[in-house]
Structure 1
């Protein structure tokens, strides 16, 4: 039962990242453990820091394709960063 729950959770996170990669429909991009993949001084073109810590970074851009540039820079997975988390989908 635990294996099924973990599998469902993994599928959910991967689907979220794939949909975000295709649509870029969020105010920012969430990168976990950014220091492993990026340097704050050397971000992809057009990407700005909204918040940066050792655990996560919230990055943004007004340019289309910035999520793809984060993947090209070596980030393994990029999640949408919403101001209210998952609750921002509620009416």
Structure 2
């Protein structure tokens, strides 16, 4: 639900935890860059960027819930990832 609707999630960084805003419709494997929250740059006091890779886990739905979602999903078709257009 968070990937579809958007959410704010805590993320650990090398210095302290931060809250990351996940935008609606986030896809599995999408990379989100957090500026200046990565490791220190060599020979500098500046920090690099932290790159977070999203991991989307689909919920296990009962048959009734899937049946309720089917009209919504079929009315909003998506590109077929098997065709290389994801």
User: Which structure is richer in relative contact order (CA contacts within 8 A, separation 6 or more)?
Assistant: 1
Pair member with larger Rg? 2
Higher fraction of helix: 1
TM-score bucket (shorter structure)? under 0.3
